[in-house]
A and B are shown apart, each in its own frame.
Chain A
Amino acid sequence: MALIFWEVWMYAQVLLVWWLFRRFARRNVAGEMIAGGMIGLFNEFATEPLWDYHLRLNFYKDTPLAIILAWAVMFTLVVYFSETLYKYFRKKQAVQPGDKSIFLFDLAAAVLVSFPIETLGVKTGIWTYRYDKLNWDWGMVPVVNMPWEALFGYCLFMLIGPSFVRAWENTFDAVIPEAGK
């Protein structure tokens, strides 16, 4: 029953997050979500054997459609969080093109946004790690009891993903025109 609730939530959160950004941040995040979904699709296909999902509507083996939407929301949050930190600490109005310090803020977002979402997904049983295939052996992060490799993996992944989102977000925003930004 709890998993059905989470699956419904994972669909609903896309509309909710899009609306919240439009309402309170005056930002159309349709482009971020489409770009984030593309990265999620790639990642899920590439690593499908390494996790077991426990939701119902799947698009490839046991990979659920809802997880692509979760990537869409996660990348939207990561980019927003990272850029907010960047603007605050660098005292800039916007991310400066070519400023490599954004990598640092993307890493911070990986730790502070992605990893808690990953932890939530594991603890609620939406997915389980295939430890028999992963052979992870770095131990567990204290308090949250999650593998260090999961945290490290997010740090690596967020070196690449947010740049893709930033490169295409404005172009993809045209899907929902006149929605802010």
Chain B
Amino acid sequence: MTLKILEAIGLLQVPVMWWVFRRFFKRDMTGEMIASAIVGVVWEIATEPLWDYHFTINYYRDAPLAELTGWMVMFPAVILLSEKLYRVVLKKDQVLPHDKRIFLFDVVSGIAVCLPLEAIGARLGVWQYRQDVLQWDWGMIPLFNLPWEVPFGYALLLLIAPTFIRYWEKDFEYAKKQR
């Protein structure tokens, strides 16, 4: 029953968060969400053998649609936090083009946003790590009780993904406005 509720929340979070961002941050998230979905599909198909999911509506083997919608919300949240931190810490009005320091803020924000969500998802049984396949051996993070490989993997993913999303978000939104 818990998993059914979580799956429903997972599917509903995209329209809800799209509205929340629009209402409270005056930000159209369509482009970010489309770009995030592309990254999410690539990631989930590439790493499918490494985890077992336990939802019911799946798009590739046991990779669930609700996980994809999770990426569609998580990446924009990371980018929002990263750019906020960037502006506050560096005292800038906006992210400067080609400023490599944004990598640092993406990674820090990514871990701050993703690690708690990862811990919740794993704890509630949404997915399980295939430790027999992964053979992770760096030990566990105190408090979170997650393998150290998880934040390291997120750090690497978040070096790449936010750039793709920033690169295409405006153009994906423009396509929507043209329709």
Contacts and interface: CB of A to CB of B under 8 A. Distances in A.
A49 B156 contact: no
B1 interface: no
B42 A157 contact: yes
Interface magnitude class on chain B? 20 to 34
B139 interface: no
Contact of A100 (B41, B50, B171): B171
A170 B171 CA distance: 21
Interface in B33-72: 38-39, 41-43, 45-47, 49-50
A47 B47 contact: yes
A50 B159 CA distance: 22
Interface string B138-156: 0000000000000011001
B143 to A, nearest CB: 24
B163 interface: yes
A38 B100 contact: no
A157 B164 CA distance: 12
Interface of A is mostly: helix
B2 interface: no
A46 B163 contact: no
A85 B23 CA distance: 43
**Which of B39, B41, B47, B163 has the largest number of chain A CB atoms within 10 A?**
B163
A98 B170 contact: yes
B14 to A, nearest CB: 20
B164 A160 contact: yes
A66 interface: no
B160 A133 contact: no
A166 B167 contact: yes
A49 B135 contact: yes
B49 A134 contact: yes
A47 B46 contact: yes
A111 interface: no
Given A38-B159, A160-B38, A153 B164 contact: no
A108 interface: no
Interface in A40-66: 41-43, 45-47, 49-50
A163 interface: yes
Nearest to A134: B49
A9 interface: no
A163 B168 contact: yes
Given A98-B171, A160-B38, 20 more contacts: A38-B160, A41-B156, A42-B157, A42-B159, A43-B46, A46-B46, A46-B157, A47-B46, A47-B47, A49-B50, A49-B135, A98-B170, A98-B174, A100-B175, A153-B46, A157-B46, A160-B160, A160-B164, A163-B163, A171-B98
Interface of A: 38-39, 41-43, 45-47, 49-50, 98, 100, 133-135, 152-153, 156-157, 159-160, 163-164, 166-168, 170-171
21 contacts: A42-B156, A46-B153, A46-B156, A47-B47, A47-B50, A50-B50, A100-B171, A134-B49, A135-B49, A156-B41, A156-B45, A157-B42, A159-B38, A160-B42, A160-B160, A163-B167, A164-B160, A164-B164, A167-B164, A167-B167, A171-B98
